Structure 1
Amino acid sequence: MKPVIIALDFENRHQTEQFLTLFDAAPKKPVIKVGMELFYREGPAFVRDLAAQGYAIFLDLKLMDIPHTVEMAMQQLAQLGIAYTTIHANGGSAMIQAAKKGLTTGAAKAGLPTPKLLAVTELTSITPAMLKDELHVDLPMQAEVVALAELAQQNGADGVICSPQEVPALQQHLPQDFLFVTPGIRPVGAAKDDQARVATPAEAAQLGSSAIVVGRPITLSQTPFATYQQIRKEFNAHD
């Protein structure tokens, strides 16, 4: 079953742990995303604690720096017991290779599986107009995303973070086992919030997403566990 990754967009450990108790009845623990806000507040020790509890963790820090710095950072992150982590594909080929090397080295030191390296192409908050007028990228959005995804794959990434709408075009250029992890998922009737390029869980499935990331529609729901179950069912309806 393809994963629905719950984005834990909470301020602190207490709020996060309270939320996760709502999933105690689940037959299998959900895959969870720890982002910048929570990581910078609670730090690596909290990630280790979550991993020790049996959660598969997507640590979403979107690293982008000179290759050596990224490699050393990834060595540390790989020892936390995480399943996925992220970089910006815009960091270039040497940085992507360094990130992969750091993850492999760090995981080996800790005797853990190497986390999947996911590259961010263009954030789902970026519109085509912003790409052209603010970032001064001449390529259309889809062509830019394909180019960055190919760069990432050629240099060791296991997948990309992209909009669901871009998956069909990416599938034409990338191997079958390459991962397409898609945020910007909003059930029918949900607010878009600050996401510009969105899809429903069913649309993401039809478009070929390998996994979806869902935050506020679950975390702000009156019935988070039931909402998660419904989204999971909708996303995997045709598997």
Structure 2
Amino acid sequence: MNSPSPSSSLFKLLSPSVQQSSRNVLKLFGSPSCVDTTRIQIVLHEKKIPYDIVNLDTLSDSKASELMAQPFARASGPFIEEDGFILCESRAICRYVATKYADQGAKLIPDAYNIKRAALFEQAVFTEVFDFEPYASKAVHEKVTKRLKGITPDEAVFEASIAGLSSKLEAYEDLLSRQRYLAGDELTLADIYHIPGGAMLTNAGSDVMTRKGPNITRWWNEISSRPSWIAVQNGDAVQG
């Protein structure tokens, strides 16, 4: 299946696509336009876990209050609920899912007993948090979020954010010249975490993910064409 065009991807990311199900499955509460929500969806597809997605804007007052009563809860979400267990924060949710369903679907987290691989994985995860997400989210806010709200983007802020990210990606290019993925030669959550933000950078009009060098380009093209991400963009149900 071919990956949707950036414009159609943006449309689908901003559409309240909801998987309807009468089964007692994991529930994901989030805003369909939010990269935090789509980050979790990718992992659920990678792990082949059926889920229902519920738009936070449609919640009853009682359910919203229940979710917001959780420690560290944010009004923008996302949250999951599974068998009475409620968790917030997208990366924590991804870790929970990947750990609980370790033997299902793609592995995504190295075995803890392999100390060196586990350490390299943690290093890659924190690289995304500190060297990618702050710059990407700021750039996307300027060119995507502001325009959706009818606010004129600040081109200087956008360009500075892209320049900062471009500088950080030089280390990515060097690392990826020696290995297939960020934590080694196997796909992990560290790679998955980059997909929604990287896609939104494309929607914002930046080609930073494909102009830093052949290794980043190869890596980005590979992870952004994964069936899990295409399924999320298309609003497809999890396939067993």
| Higher RCO (C-alpha under 8 Å, 6+ residues apart) | 2
Structure that is richer in strand per residue: 1
Structure that is richer in helix per residue: 2
TM (norm. structure 2) is 0.31
